[in-house]
Structure 1
Amino acid sequence: MFDRWRILSGGLLSIFRSSNHLPKSSVVLSSILCSSGLPYWTAFYVPRYQVSNDLWGKSHFNWQVEGENYHILRTGAFPFIKFHCSNRPVEDLQIEDIFYRALKILNLGLPTFAYGLAGLVMTGHMEIFQVENKEITLFYWYKEDRGSPN
């Protein structure tokens, strides 16, 4: 289905390589939401070697796309970056953002690393999107029904 070793090795190499030539993860996030028809929710992994991680350090935040607000739960899940997006009204998410960041620090990132490895093994569906003339491959646990409110 997809080359898991390429994702893992690309993730390892991305630690040492400049990502200035890659699309920003914020641009990828907005593009994916728009390309998907502004779904009620979506959750996906993007390989970290395919993007410049300009949202580093953000865990739970509001994200505006074409007049819609999304609550974004984001984590580095090596060798991916994991996004969970829910279309919801704007809320003050600062306390939750600090809480999730603190949890990641306190547990040394081990659960997020395990989450990334689970994504590497368990993802069952992938889609390719064009963002800034680059192919970005998104990985999902399963094929989503984008019209579903759940």
Structure 2
Amino acid sequence: MKRFFMKLHGLFLKIALFPSSLGRKGVRPAASEVLTCHLLQRNLPPWTSYVVHYSSVLNDQFGRSNFNWRVQDSNYHILRTGCFPFIKYHCTKAPPQNLHFEDNFFTMLKVINLGIPCLAYGIGCWMVVGAEETVQTSCGPVTVYFAYKEDEGAQF
């Protein structure tokens, strides 16, 4: 019985601390590669917002909340948060800017709130996902999800 609870405890910690280590077997692309491929596949849109399963990617942007992301000649301001079982990205095309303060501020809010709002956000994402798209990466296809189908070429 003790062994069972030790395994259960270990599984809980693995899910809680390293959700991207579960699920999909084999090689997974980095979350940053999915971000870049999605923006390129969408022909560098003025904005986009999507979620991707933790289990579909390697979480190489862990701890980053608000940052610049360069794709070809375009710069995007990325707002990123974990919303278990997803990672949420909101991308807006904008000139490069020093986002260090904002990045630290959003990260500190997540720590102070113990990530509880992020978990609630993830549950909410499950309820509103209404569209999906397959993003082609060097490791194969990855599905990203949207609250609603985004219009191709939509402007602000």
TM-score, scaled relative to structure 1: 0.87
Worse overlay, 50-59 or 140-149: 140-149
Whether 2:21 is the aligned partner of 1:17: answer yes
Worse overlay, 120-129 or 67-76: 120-129
Whether 2:88 is the aligned partner of 1:99: answer no
For structure 2, list consecutive stretches of 5 or more residues without a partner in the other structure: 1-13
Secondary structure (helix, strand or coil) at the match of 2:114 reads coil
**What is the Cα deviation at residue 21 of structure 1?**
2.4
Please report the RMSD computed on the Cα atoms of aligned residues, expressed in angstroms.
2.0
Deviation string, structure 1 residues 91-148 (Cα, Å, up to 9, x no partner): 1000000000000001111111111111111110111122114221110000112322
> What's 1:36 paired with?
42
Q: Distance in 2 between matches of 1:134 and 1:77?
A: 24
Q: Distance in 2 between matches of 1:134 and 1:26?
A: 14
Task: Kindly indicate whether the alpha-carbon contact (under 8 Å) linking 1:41 and 1:146 is maintained by their aligned counterparts in 2.
Answer: no
Q: 1:16 to 1:80 in 2, by over 3 A?
A: closer
For structure 1, list consecutive stretches of 5 or more residues without a partner in the other structure: 1-10
Q: Distance in 2 between matches of 1:17 and 1:98?
A: 26
TM-score, scaled relative to structure 2: 0.83
Letter in 1 for 2:131: H
Task: Kindly indicate whether the alpha-carbon contact (under 8 Å) linking 1:20 and 1:52 is maintained by their aligned counterparts in 2.
Answer: no
> What's 2:59 paired with?
53
Q: 1:91 to 1:52 in 2, by over 3 A?
A: same
Letter in 2 for 1:29: L
Q: Distance in 2 between matches of 1:65 and 1:39?
A: 11
Q: Distance in 1 between matches of 2:74 and 2:21?
A: 34
Secondary structure (helix, strand or coil) at the match of 1:143 reads coil
Letter in 1 for 2:72: E
Greater radius of gyration (CA):
2
Worse overlay, 132-141 or 17-26: 17-26
5 Å-filtered alignment, 1:1-150, equals 12=15, 15=19, 17=21, 21-150=27-156
Runs of 4+ in 1 over 2 A off after TM superposition: 11-21
